[in-house]
Amino acid sequence: MTHYAIDHGWDIYSIYCDEDYSGADGLRPDFNRMLAAAKAKKFQIVLCKSQSRFTRDMELVEKYIHGLFPIWGIRFIAVADNADTEVKGNKKARQINGLVNEWYLEDLSENVRMVFDLKRREGQYIGGFPIYGYRKDPADKNHIIIDPEAAEVVRQIFRWSLEGHGKQNIAAMLNDAGVPNPTRYKAERGWTCNHPVKNDLGLWNKTTIWRILHNEMYTGVMIQGRRKKVSYKSKVLIDMPADRWYRVEGTHEAIIDRETFDMVQKNLALRSKTDGSGEVHLLSGLVKCMDCGSTMSKTTNCQQGRPRVSYLRCKLYADSGKAKRCTRHAIRLDKLEELVSDRIRYYVQTYYKLEPLDIQPVRDTRRDALEQEQKTLKAQWEKRSQALKTLYLDKVSGILTDGQFTDLNHSFLEETNRLEQRLSKIEAELSQEKPRQQADLTARAKELLKLETVPRELVAALVEKIEIGERNPDTGKQQVRITWKF
């Protein structure tokens, strides 16, 4: 094109080129710089090899070539297409070229989508980077394998959820333990990440915890196609209904077994509310009003000088204001928890007999993960220590100014301090963990069967619902009906 311009005696104002960008992309940086210069009337001619080099989008053809360029005094020439806005009767040819270019894009997009859909149906992973807990198989980019260190964090998140910890509380416990969030974790290992690393400490939040707890891919099921582009001309993504997802069983090793995953989903489906501590109460979401069937909500009396006492009462009564749609049905939470716990203890101790345990040696995956993380963090610490020495030498040599050295040194020291704190916690955990012996496990099993403290996951597994009747004002009695799952 340079020779073409010189041959016609035109001066070249600038050359605009967007490498590795599609002609359909209206956000090309040089393309938009050119349009800004054209609007400012910096030149009089836009010269392209073909119209498709300018754009393959018919809307942009009409907007600029036939709309704004004439207003700005810009002549458009596409050499290969014989397109020239100065030649009368040439407009239809340009419009036809625009349509052909757009049809080409549409066909290409459809063909690419068909290939991707075929891979999704076969359970091949086609994403950029796998979910936290997995990494791409070096031998097969369409297969994912477990990342031991991150997978252990995922298992811990599910364990805490089963114990009744809320999303916010789980995030706080991970942050207290110095565990980096998924984005920071990937960045520290130099892995390509979809999200830029913000200038923070790599903290967890409840949204990340929610996504992990609801992601079925941790059970070994490949799920893709949850979102898709509106069209090939738009980058906007829309959520797809679950029945249109591509779901293939057994494509990769599970981090969470199906039973644990389903139990967590049931607990989350109870829509349990916390009291601000990040933990739910033992019967949260299971207690219903015997008359209207609504879920009982928790309320706490906080009178000065008196101990805090929590009650459950009918939600319709609590939410309906002056025009009460139901009565209180109030019952003390601690008394109800004690009643349900006693019944569970009775059934377990009466009907369940502990069989001799035939325990095979099991690899301690948590200890393996801690040791792997320890090894990785030590390597990172050594790299940063070496970098600090290099930084000092650069300052002495005059490569870095005092200000640059101070800023970089502060950043390195902060990161080194974080690594040292996490290493200290890992070493403490490893020193406390001891190999489990069969005798210890048998004794522990017998101790657990006493159910001195009934765990929430056991209540959720055994109890369908607990219905509370209204208290009889004459006798003071109140009916409690427990519906069991067995």
- On whether residue 174 sits in a domain, the answer given is yes
CATH number at residue 240: 3.90.1750.20
342 in the same domain as 247? no
Lowest mean pLDDT among 244-258, 433-447, 453-467: 433-447
| For residue 393, pLDDT beyond 90 | no
More confident residue, 66 or 445: 66
- On whether residue 279 sits in a domain, the answer given is no
| For residue 363, pLDDT beyond 70 | no
Q: d(Cα 217, Cα 134) in Å, to the nearest integer?
A: 10
Q: What is the pLDDT of residue 448?
A: 61
Confidence of residue 152 (pLDDT cuts 50, 70, 90): very high
Give the pairing of strands 309-314 and 140-146: unpaired
- On whether residue 274 sits in a domain, the answer given is no
| For residue 476, pLDDT beyond 50 | yes
Q: d(Cα 355, Cα 360) in Å, to the nearest integer?
A: 15
Domain boundary pick from 70, 86, 120: 120
| For residue 485, pLDDT beyond 70 | yes
- On whether residue 219 sits in a domain, the answer given is yes
Confidence of residue 158 (pLDDT cuts 50, 70, 90): very high
Average of per-residue pLDDT across 37-56: 86
Average of per-residue pLDDT across 272-276: 50
More confident residue, 197 or 177: 177
Confidence of residue 276 (pLDDT cuts 50, 70, 90): very low
CATH number at residue 62: 3.40.50.1390
370 in the same domain as 231? no
Lowest mean pLDDT among 45-54, 160-169, 352-361, 468-477: 352-361
| For residue 107, pLDDT beyond 70 | no
Q: How is the chain split among helix, strand and coil, in percent rounded to 5?
A: 50, 15, 40
Domain boundary pick from 72, 90, 120: 120
352 in the same domain as 224? no
Lowest mean pLDDT among 122-126, 357-361, 378-382: 357-361
141 in the same domain as 49? no
168 in the same domain as 89? no
Q: What is the mean pLDDT of the chain?
A: 80
pLDDT in tens, 69-85: 889 999 988 887 778 88
Q: What is the pLDDT of residue 443?
A: 65
Confidence of residue 336 (pLDDT cuts 50, 70, 90): very high
Burial of 339 (0-12, 13-18, 19+ CB in 10 A): middle
- On whether residue 201 sits in a domain, the answer given is yes
111 in the same domain as 131? no
- On whether residue 31 sits in a domain, the answer given is yes
114 in the same domain as 133? no
| For residue 318, pLDDT beyond 80 | no
Domain count, the chain: 4
Confidence of residue 39 (pLDDT cuts 50, 70, 90): very high
Highest-scoring range by mean pLDDT, 56-65, 236-245, 326-335: 326-335
112 in the same domain as 57? yes
21 in the same domain as 101? yes
370 in the same domain as 348? no
Domain boundary pick from 101, 120, 139: 120
Q: d(Cα 444, Cα 452) in Å, to the nearest integer?
A: 13
Residue 330's contacts (CB-CB under 8 Å, 6 or more residues apart) are 311, 312, 313, 471
| For residue 23, pLDDT beyond 90 | no
| For residue 208, pLDDT beyond 90 | yes
Average of per-residue pLDDT across 261-282: 69
Domain that holds residue 311: 287-357+450-484
More confident residue, 338 or 399: 338
Confidence of residue 35 (pLDDT cuts 50, 70, 90): very high
- On whether residue 281 sits in a domain, the answer given is no
**What percent of the chain stands above pLDDT 70?**
80
pTM of the model: 0.51
Q: What is the pLDDT of residue 106?
A: 66
**332 phi/psi in degrees, rounded to 5:** -70, 130
Q: d(Cα 451, Cα 344) in Å, to the nearest integer?
A: 9
Q: How many residues does the chain have?
A: 486
- On whether residue 293 sits in a domain, the answer given is yes
Highest-scoring range by mean pLDDT, 84-98, 301-315, 433-447: 301-315
405 in the same domain as 351? no
Q: d(Cα 193, Cα 251) in Å, to the nearest integer?
A: 23
Count CB neighbours of 359 within 10 A.
13
Residue 106, H or E segment: helix 91-121
**What percent of the chain stands above pLDDT 90?**
17
138 in the same domain as 161? yes
